[in-house]
């Protein structure tokens, strides 16, 4: 007999884990909805023509391709087999599993552009798949929770992302976090100032950004060594030195950046954008802001063109739990160029790990059933089932043990499911109409009429 298993890089989530995950999902979803984002779902699979070429060469390799149905190899020739995996794949697989939520969103916007209100605000909470090598914290199937606004350049959208991040994390109980922000135009300006501009390919700018992004992990000297190895001159490295001295309040840092990058129009535009974001956040009245300027922050270099966000929980050894930014050509690959957007993505799996480590899940998040009806015999069940219906009509989560069996077995079931209250119905309860209510935590037991019991368990009383 074959032993059951699941594919590497995937996981089952039992009831206890799912209760906690749903608490995270519901908290994020409620915040997205409060800010006017509308729900969207796209198919688990997309045409490969939609996915290929959108994530770079490495991303193409990490796409899960789906074999064509039927005899997928029936029409292949010997030459097809000899042509190599890339060309062969195009003939035997027309579809692939969704790699992220952004490209399907762009495809949806272009297909429905005439019917959508612009700007279009959508949120999407679905699994994605990547054919990566499984390791701790890296899975082949995982959830993304994205919110994006497309069709506007307004920096009000960036300010609202700042507010949403604060609201989501505080509502989850994660109070100690840092929301870092930078602007891609500042990184471009730094590359120009030190004499290593990006050029048509953006290659040198990209090398610089990737190196300085490692500053908090490997330190200044190793960052500079990496740049030397990648062909940066000592003159360029000397000109870069001011970046390592930025600290203090955001307003002071922005003024220092203005002075240092005064000859770069691109950088000045990025600085002005950040100043406006801060101004708008202050106008919203955000209290105890945990927004921090980090001029070394570089992520999404192949697509972000403006603001860049990254969120980390402090005091735990876990990477970023959220990230996002502004992109200026989301839909260009599908024939509708120039449509700007900005978005944020929450990493549910990492947020879960943070909350587990810090013991932040509320006690009630694991509890599903509040009341269990226990029957001693068929006559007792005839009394208990109408009571069960009334409890549910009042909004109480309740269930009945399905079998008429020993009391211990039914109470053990309640304990296993962390059900806090049990209603015991035997011959005495049937005759008197007074039902025994047992608190499974304290062990206390009292007699109640059905009406008193309904009142006791109504959501307003619990």
Per-residue model confidence as pLDDT tens digits over 176-208: 999 999 999 999 999 888 887 654 444 677 788
Instruction: Look at residue 173 and tell me if it is in a domain.
Output: yes
Same domain for 348 and 285: yes
Same domain, 387 and 332: no
In this predicted structure, which of 163-177, 191-205, 311-325, 355-369 has the lowest mean pLDDT? 191-205
Considering its fold, how many domains does the chain have in total? 2
CATH of the domain at 412: 3.40.50.800
Regarding whether 345 and 255 lie in a shared domain, the answer is yes
300 has a pLDDT exceeding 80: no
Name the band, by pLDDT with cuts 50, 70 and 90, for residue 44.
very high
Interacting residues of 407 by C-beta distance below 8 A, sequence separation 6+? 374, 376, 424
Q: Tokens 């009394």 appear where?
A: 383
Q: Are residues 344 and 261 in the same domain?
A: yes
108 assigned to some structural domain:
no
Do 262 and 343 fall into the same domain? yes
Model confidence over 398-433: pLDDT tens digits? 999 999 999 999 999 999 998 999 999 999 999 999
Q: How far is the C-alpha of 111 from the C-alpha of 105, rounded, in Å? A: 10
SS3 content of the chain, % helix, strand, coil (to 5): 45, 20, 40
Asked if 105 and 122 count as a contact pair (C-beta separation under 8 A), the reply is yes
Q: How far apart are the first and last CA of the chain?
A: 49
DSSP 135: B
| Separation of alpha carbons 96 and 106, rounded Å | 16
Residues 229 and 352 in one domain: yes
pLDDT, the chain, mean: 89
Give the residue carrying structure tokens 């090598």.
133
- pLDDT score of 365: 65
271 and 158 belong to one structural domain = yes
Domain match, 438 and 313 both: no
pLDDT for the residue numbered 203:
64
Give the strand order in the sheet containing 95-97.
45-47, 95-97, 65-66
Question: Do the Cβ atoms of 414 and 367 come closer than 8 Å?
Answer: no
Write out the H or E segment, with its range, that includes residue 102: helix 102-111
| Assigned domain for 288 exists | yes
Please give the helix or strand (H or E) that residue 27 lies within, else none. helix 15-34
Question: Which of residues 318, 339, 357 is at a domain's end?
Answer: 357
Looking at the fold, whether 292 and 315 belong to one and the same domain comes out as yes
- C-beta separation of 350 from 172 below 8 A: no
Domain final position from 331, 357, 383: 357
Peptide bond connecting 412 to the previous residue in cis, omega within 30 degrees of 0: no
To 10 degrees, the CA torsion angle through 418, 349, 146, 42? -80
Whether residue 40 lies inside any domain: the answer is no
The answer to whether the beta carbons of residues 261 and 267 sit under 8 Å apart is yes
Residue with tokens 């002005």: 272
Residue 7 lies in a domain: no
Asked, for residue 80, whether it belongs to a domain, the answer is no
H or E element that contains 312: strand 307-313
Show the domain range for 384: 367-457
> What does pTM read for this prediction?
0.87
| Residue 79 lies inside a defined structural domain of this protein | no
pLDDT tens column, 95-126? 999 999 999 999 999 999 999 999 999 999 99
Residues 347 and 379 in one domain: no
pLDDT at 96: 94
**pLDDT > 90 in the chain, percent:** 66
- Tell me: do 381 and 353 sit in the same domain: no
Find out whether 292 and 251 touch, Cβ atoms under 8 Å: no
- What CATH number is given to the structural domain containing 331? 3.30.930.10
Q: Which of 357, 379, 398 is the last residue of a domain?
A: 357
pLDDT tens digits, residue range 217-276? 888 788 888 888 888 888 888 888 888 888 888 999 999 999 999 999 999 999 999 999
Nearest residue to 182 via CA among 240, 262, 254: 254
In a domain, 43, yes or no: no
204 and 287 belong to one structural domain: yes
Radius of gyration of the chain (CA): 28
Spatial CA neighbour of 373 closest among 383, 363, 362: 383
Q: Residues near 335 by Cβ (< 8 Å), separated by ≥ 6?
A: 110
């Amino acid at each position: 007999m074959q032993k059951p298993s699941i594919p590497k890089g995937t996981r089952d989530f039992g009831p206890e884990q799912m209760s906690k995950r749903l608490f995270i999902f519901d908290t994020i979803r409620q915040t997205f909805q409060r800010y006017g984002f509308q729900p969207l779902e796209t198919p688990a699979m997309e045409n490969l023509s939609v996915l290929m070429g959108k994530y770079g060469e490495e991303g193409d390799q990490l796409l899960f391709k789906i074999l064509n149905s039927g005899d997928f190899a029936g029409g292949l020739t010997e030459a097809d087999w000899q042509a190599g995996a890339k060309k062969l794949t195009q003939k035997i697989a027309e579809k692939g599993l969704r790699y992220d939520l952004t490209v399907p969103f762009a495809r949806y916007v272009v297909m429905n552009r005439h019917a959508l209100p612009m700007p279009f605000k959508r949120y999407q909470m679905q699994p994605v798949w990547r054919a990566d090598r499984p390791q701790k914290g890296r899975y082949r199937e995982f959830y993304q929770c994205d919110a994006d606004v497309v069709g506007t350049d307004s920096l009000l959208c960036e300010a609202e992302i700042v507010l949403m991040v604060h609201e989501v994390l505080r509502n989850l109980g994660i109070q100690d976090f840092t929301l870092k922000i930078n602007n891609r135009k500042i990184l471009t300006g730094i590359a120009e100032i030190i004499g290593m501009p990006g050029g048509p390919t953006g290659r040198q700018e990209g090398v610089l950004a990737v190196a300085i992004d490692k500053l908090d992990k490997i330190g200044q000297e190793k960052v500079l060594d990496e740049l030397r190895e990648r062909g940066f001159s000592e003159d360029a490295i000397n000109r870069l030195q001011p970046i390592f001295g930025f600290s203090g309040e955001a307003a002071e840092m922005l003024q220092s950046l203005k002075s240092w990058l005064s000859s770069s129009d691109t950088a000045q535009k990025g600085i002005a954008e950040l100043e406006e974001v801060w101004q708008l956040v202050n106008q919203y009245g955000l209290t105890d802001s945990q927004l921090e300027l980090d001029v070394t922050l570089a992520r999404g270099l192949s697509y972000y063109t403006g603001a860049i966000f990254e969120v980390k929980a402090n005091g735990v050894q876990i990477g970023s739990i959220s990230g996002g930014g502004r992109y200026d050509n989301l839909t260009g690959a599908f024939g509708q160029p120039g449509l700007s957007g900005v978005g944020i993505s929450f990493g549910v799996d990492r947020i879960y790990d943070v909350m587990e480590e810090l013991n932040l899940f509320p006690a009630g998040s694991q509890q599903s059933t509040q009341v269990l009806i226990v029957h001693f015999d068929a006559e007792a069940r005839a009394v208990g089932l109408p009571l069960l219906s009334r409890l549910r009509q009042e909004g109480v989560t309740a269930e009945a043990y399905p079998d008429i069996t020993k009391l211990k077995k039914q109470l053990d079931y309640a304990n296993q499911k962390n059900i806090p209250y049990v209603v015991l119905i035997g011959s005495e309860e049937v005759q008197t109409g007074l039902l025994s209510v047992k608190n499974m935590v304290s062990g206390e037991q009292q007699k109640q009429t059905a009406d008193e019991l309904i009142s006791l368990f109504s959501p307003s009383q619990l």
